[in-house]
Chains A and B, each alone.
Chain A
Amino acid sequence: MARLTPTRRSSRPGASDTPSVGPHVPDPHPANGADRAAGHVARVRGHHRSFGDVHVLRSIDLDIAPGEFVALLGRSGCGKSTLLRSLAHLDPSPAEEVDVVGRSAVAFQEPRLLPWKTVVDNVALALLNAPERKDRDRLARERLEEVGLGEKLDAWPLQLSGGQAQRVSLARALVPDPSLLLLDEPFSALDALTRIEMHQLVIELWRRRQMAILLVTHDVDEALNLADRVHVMDGGQMARTWEIGLPRSERSPSHPEVAAVREEILHSLGVEPTPPNPNRAPGTPAADAHDRGAA
């Protein structure tokens, strides 16, 4: 299997410009020659992980196609973060069980920046193995401008707000042009407004850069807003999967399809949905549902 080079920006022209319109299609351009090797960016088969007697992952199967946005939901301890760590090769994961084509990058729940490096140097660090020194700096600046931090290039991480630091962390994950971006609850520590901005930013970046994303989250609404496909994990196993075909612009919580899937997901997570508040004026229950979305 030929590996995708990190610079495969133009290999799938237009593939994600109009994502998720209509029913989900794993690979919208199967005839594209450059895509022959790109049947998946990640393929997990019968992956098993245990710590002592505790089986954290049991026979996990998961495919992620190039450019696909997948969300992984589950309660704490269900194994979703462990699966992400396997995909990032942070934990030992045998090649026959976990195959990642091309390069993976991770944005964690905390920004995890090096406090002794400036913002731009933190981002450039992710390119240490790849390009020339002068290109590293230029690419880092470009990614930081892309996430809206062009003004903070030479700031120290300790001078940033939580949202800004998380943007740097995102730029750092993006700068090597990964084929698979792994997001480990990167928005959960942010305030609600910053979180909405970050959701928009991630969708924007994903459309522009055409990488596959695996988002691990607790937040059902976040998964429903962002992903093409939602997996719910339970007890170290894949419990259920939903394909979200609806265009992202139409995914308001009041949309009947979204509301139905949301209820199903919450049910599979063992949460009974909140009944609508009869005191609310019509038209606003959406906001109410959104507030209580985080499982």
Chain B
Amino acid sequence: MSQALAPPTTAGPTPGTPTKSATAAPRRRFTAWRRWLSPVAIVALWQLASSTGVLDERKLASPAQIATAAGELIADGTLGDAVLVSVQRVALGFVLGASFGLLLALVAGLSKIGEEAVDPPMQMLRTLPHFGLIPLFIIWMGIDEAPKVALIALGVAFPLYLNTFAGIRGIDRKVMEAARSMHLTRLQRIRHVVLPGALPNTLVGLRQSLGIAWLSLIVAETIGSDAGLGYMINRARDFLLTDVIVVGLVTYSLLGLATDAIVRYLERRALSWRA
């Protein structure tokens, strides 16, 4: 936020060339800056409401309190440790679920028998809200790490499966035929035609599944945790520490933003051919 309010010191147009682009650039910067006005105003109003006592501290802490709490949680390492535990859960669940989803998509996409065996159960299971499985997971796996990782993995697997399978099925048959006319082996065709052809869809699936992974984490961490962001938030609830709860929530969303940015970067890199 501070950067938004900082004066645009380097923003002056380059001297000497008062061209159209030179006048257009500051205007664009100005509108970008204007987009920050209303969020800042909301935070300012929020702070005002808290300071004047209109907003009860036990309902929602003030922005200043939240910032202080964030500083303390970072300084004493609580937040870092919690993030580490949560990220490990997501990473493990994601790797398991993504491997599972991609493997099934390949089996279903590359052979008719595979499709008939894999696709019908997957299409049925995907309609199942996976959070509804939490009671069963607790009965099967207790309340340790296993049900949390399983819940994340399950949430990750479906978007990747569905999108990758659709991507493989959507590959231009004529291009596949051209690959056959070049006497490429089946494995070479998979490597050079099928997989890169399905990649745009897989990346769409990846973005969806990462979103679901973080969502699943938040839900999973409400199942008796003794570490992680969810644990931090739950304990804060017990002590009515609304500032810590908000810090936890903001951390969740920053983590989600970070993984989304990674996928967008991958998309730009991998799909640069889409001129």
Contact = CB atoms under 8 A, between A and B. Distances in A.
A103 B192 contact: no
A105 interface: yes
A156 B185 CA distance: 24
Nearest to A155: B275
A158 interface: yes
B183 A114 contact: no
Interface in B187-239: 188, 192-193, 196-197, 199
B178 interface: yes
Contact of A112 (B178, B199, B272): B178
Interface stretch (A51-59, A71-79, A121-129): A121-129
A128 B188 CA distance: 8
A68 B3 CA distance: 73
Contact of B175 (A114, A126, A182): A114
A172 interface: yes
Q: Is the interface of A mostly helix, strand, loop or mixed?
A: loop
B28 interface: no
B177 A112 contact: yes
A158 B275 contact: yes
B174 A128 contact: no
In this complex, the interface size class of chain A, counting residues with CB under 8 Å from chain B, is 20 to 34
A107 to B, nearest CB: 9
A116 B178 CA distance: 15
In this complex, the interface size class of chain B, counting residues with CB under 8 Å from chain A, is 20 to 34
Contacts of B182: 105, 125-126, 128, 172, 176
Contacts of A182: 181
Contacts of B24: none
B22 interface: no
Interface in B63-117: none
B274 interface: yes
Given A114-B193, A116-B197, A106 B178 contact: yes
Interface string B150-181: 00000000000000000000001011011111
Nearest to B196: A116
B192 A125 contact: yes
A110 B174 contact: yes
A281 interface: no
Contacts of A110: 174
B273 interface: yes
A115 B274 contact: yes
B184 interface: yes
A167 to B, nearest CB: 15
Given A116-B197, A116-B199, A128 B274 contact: no
Interface centre among B177, B178, B192, by most A CB within 10 Å?
Answer: B178
Contacts of B192: 114, 117, 125, 128
Nearest to B185: A129
Contacts of A116: 196-197, 199, 271, 273
List the 5 closest pairs (A to B, CB-CB), nearest first.
A112-B178, A106-B181, A126-B182, A158-B275, A156-B273
24 contacts: A90-B180, A105-B181, A108-B174, A108-B181, A114-B175, A114-B192, A114-B193, A114-B196, A117-B192, A117-B196, A117-B273, A118-B273, A125-B184, A125-B192, A128-B188, A129-B183, A129-B185, A129-B188, A156-B272, A156-B273, A158-B275, A159-B275, A172-B182, A176-B182
